[in-house]
Structure 1
């Protein structure tokens, strides 16, 4: 699959790059994508939720009424969850939501996500550029040139470029990452995937193993 290389002004440079079929042209595995996205979101959860249960509530331990003869249900403690101010029954406890996936499945998920974007013509290959000083205005002009001003977009850098990253940080819906930060969730969450020309070789090398 050949894709034209654009410059930061959105103009065709006259060059084309060939996207690897092993990375951008496979049969997508929807379940692998689902699992990888699920793991990513699960890993974001802090799991610090906690509610006090019956044993943790401060209150009297006396039996609040006699066992029989009241005509109502038996009750042995004011701290029971059926009474106002009592403990919560089966309340949330701190836990770790993360789980593991093997490397081959995660690699398959990323290849599947990239293939889906390629099939939707949602991949833009951009000529490598840099920004002398961090300026949001300059990065906004790049978005306008590419027609991505009001779309969720993910820019993938070939090498770490701090000025480009800082220039995009204040823009809602736009994210700049390096190859090592590229995840299935981020690919699927973006409407358009903008690959810097220098990032292609490393992406294909990492995912074609």
Structure 2
């Protein structure tokens, strides 16, 4: 597919060819859902707290006698069944965060961008270089591209302080370089605005992952390396084989010979006592 490339004034200056299947041949919706839920769960503070019946103020004296009043049985006014009492199973601060495997998160990021490209929700510009912070320049660009009233993620190749300062005062606009992209940041806004250099960097990272996978390597932080598990297993097998080859072979005496030696030793002991 061909995407139009615009300049800072909003005029089309070229086109960019890309196939979404290059980033992800298939889009796993369940994987995207799990990744988004994980990122949202990690943003929860979990600082809530309520009081149990042992923490609320009030007397623990029985409200009235057990029988004879016609009322239901009642004990402490702190009971969770009474108004103003403590909460049953009171809430406590907790951490809702959890983590998915790194490979799954990287795959979800690629699938998310491939899905946005397939839905034609990505706008490309040839550059976002600003000499000084200028909110009006970014607002004018968004208006020219028709995404001014939407939530927008602006993604340059690297961190751009001038761009960040120019866009931070626009409601619904966030800035994140390619290295900070994930499934949640890509899927959450209504539109994406990327530079051609940024999408080139993303494609280069994907190509490195594909090449490493084809060569039987695992990728960690963008650098290919052999899996430690397979390497250590091969080393242990080689050491075990070398130990077996170098071990001397000791021949054991026959069982019948050992029995004869034991009998002769027993016969010799009484003779030694008689000599004394």
TM-score > 0.5 by shorter chain = yes
Give the whole-Å Cα distance in 2 for the aligned partners of 1:90 and 1:57. 13
Higher mean displacement: 10-19 or 56-65: 10-19
Matched, 1:195 2:199: no
Instruction: Find the aligned partners of 2:9 and 2:145 in 1 and give their Cα distance.
Output: 7
Match of 1:11?
Answer: 11
Give 1:22 shift. Answer: 2.9
Q: How does 1:164-183 map to 2 (within 5 A)?
A: 164-183=163-182
Q: What's the TM-score once normalised by structure 1's chain length?
A: 0.90
Q: 3-state SS of the aligned residue for 1:56?
A: coil
Does 1:185 pair with 2:184? yes
Larger Rg: 2
**Per-residue CA shift, 1:180-208, capped at 9, x if unaligned?**
22121221122221111121233223345
The 1:203/1:75 distance shift into structure 2, 3 A limit, reads same
- Could you say what secondary structure the match of 2:176 adopts? strand
Q: Which moved more, 1:10-19 or 1:193-202?
A: 10-19
Which structure would you say has the larger RCO, counting Cα contacts within 8 Å and 6 or more residues apart? Answer: 1
For 2:205, the equivalent position in structure 1 comes to: 206
Any conservation in 2 of the 1:79–1:85 contact (CA below 8 Å)? yes
Work out the CA distance in 2 between the residues paired with 1:71 and 1:172.
63
Superposition pairs for residues 101-140 of structure 1, below 5 Å? 101-140=100-139
Q: Is the 8 A contact 2:20 2:118 kept in 1?
A: no
The answer (yes or no) to whether the contact 1:8–1:145 under 8 Å persists in 2 is no
Structure 1 position 97, deviation (Å): 0.8
Question: Is 1:50 aligned to residue 49 of structure 2?
Answer: yes
Counterparts in 2 of 1:59 and 1:207: CA distance versus 1, 3 Å: farther
Secondary structure, aligned partner of 1:54 = coil
**TM score, norm. by length of structure 2:** 0.70
Larger CA deviation: 68-77 vs 183-192: 68-77
Question: Matched residues in 2 for 1:61 and 1:52: separation?
Answer: 15
TM superposition shift of 1:31: 0.6
The unaligned stretches of length 5 or more in structure 2 are 210-276
Q: Deviations over 1:141-177 (max 9, x none)?
A: 1112222111221111101110111100011121111
**1:40 counterpart = 2:30:** no
Is the alpha carbon distance of 1:71 and 1:205 closer, same or farther for their aligned partners in structure 2, counting shifts above 3 Å? farther
- Correspondence for 2:74: 75
Structure 1 unaligned blocks of 5 or more: none
CA distance in 1, matches of 2:137, 2:10: 14
Question: Is the partner of 1:55 in helix, strand or coil?
Answer: coil
Q: How far apart are residue 12 of structure 1 and its match?
A: 2.5
Q: What is the rounded CA distance, in whole Å, between the counterparts of 1:34 and 1:145 in structure 2? A: 33
Q: 4+ residue runs of structure 1 moved beyond 6 angstroms?
A: none
CA separation in 1, counterparts of 2:90 and 2:55? 12
More helix by share: 2
Quick one: distance in 2 between partners of 1:116 and 1:110?
10
